Amino acid sequence: MLNQQIGNPVDRQGTHLPNVGRIIQCTRRNHLIELKRLINELEWSNQHILTLAGSRRRSNSLQKQGPLGVQQDLQTQNSSHLNQQALTSNTDMSKNWKAADIPSLAGKRILITGANSGIGYHAALKLTRKGAHVMLACRDRKRGEAALALLNADSPSAHTELVILDLASLASIRSFADQELAKHRPIHILINNAGVMTPPKRLETADGFELQFGTNVLGHFALTALLMPALELATQAAADLADRPRVVTIASIAHKKGRLDFDDLQSIKRYSPWKAYQQSKLGDLMFAFELDRRLRAANSRVMSIAAHPGVARTNLFQAANYSSFEKAARDVMGHAIGIFLNTDAEGALPTLYAATASSAEDGGYYGPQGFQEMRGESVGPAKIAPQALDTAASAHLWQVCEDLTNTKLM
């Protein structure tokens, strides 16, 4: 095993942590090439992570416990790490807005896609604690039920429900939307959070779209379009700015290197895991901005806001069919991310801000303000790549999304 081959350094809590540099020195040549490619694709290096070590240690020096997800006993980590992490996620995270500033959400119905783990789960946890009725939209029933059980254990009086929704299937999206609209109840906040990240081989959705573009962009476009009547219904009871319904779309700093290839949006001619992911995240951000423009033009009171988590350790980092070596290498990087950058609980803060803060603006894009926008110590306006502001390309993308999903939005 990888940890048996390498003498691992020990962190301040006595936990053995693999070191990327030593792995490179000790692996066979073919593994070295694979790991080097992985690090290059991730677009940050071991040196960047080590640069953050000093400031991260200082910011945590007053805490008695080390980074959650690292120091916990392995026998309890799988069942309880989500809630334990969230309980302390506000500690020294933000000198300004923090999750404790979320107002009462009693009576509000919130739908979160991909809510069974990671950022989606932690957003659900905080919103549930504030009294919201949270719908966990999950593809896998078993994982969704496990997340629901954790939420209810944390807050026995929580108003939560599990809904089965596969964003890689337009039939699943339409079926869920039909059931939801039949209830004639408002949706106050829609959080388009679920995503697919860098599967090594090109995969397709049930409808034949490239999996990342089909799920991250087309799936959320169709869901938002079909649920817009429920969002508009929520405007009727919106007394002030803070009560206006919101569509929150989760983008990524990866959008900065993204390019929309309208001649090959489905990556049929050539597939690159990271280029396809970057394109999908650029598409998400452009969708959020274009939705805002169209909502304003229609004098709608629904808000469209985007957010990104920085770099957070979520299951997106491991949720693909990688080789055993690459899975081990990604786990190494995941540990480093959780220690020096963001846990998934911390990564949820920009999402919570976009979804609930009264200071969040129409068409805003928010993220962490720390090192290269990767850390979540405070939340503020995020940097936007020029291509995300191309209104002509955004309008074209919108039309493509309508055509491919056979849905009309605004």
Q: Which positions are catalytic?
A: 277
Residue 359: partners with Cβ closer than 8 Å, 6 or more residues away: 97
Dist. CA 344–CA 310, nearest whole Å: 10
Closest Cα to residue 379, out of 337, 349, 342? 349
Q: Is 114 left (phi over 0), alpha (psi -120 to 50) or beta?
A: left
Residue 88: partners with Cβ closer than 8 Å, 6 or more residues away: 63, 65, 68
Residue pair 242/103 in contact by the 8 Å Cβ criterion: yes
Sign of CA dihedral 347, 349, 354, 355: positive
Residue pair 118/316 in contact by the 8 Å Cβ criterion: yes
| 268: its two tokens | 């049929």
Going by their DSSP bridges, the two strands 312-313 and 159-164 should be labelled as unpaired
Instruction: Return the CA Rg of the chain.
Output: 21
For residue 132, give the H/E element and its range: none
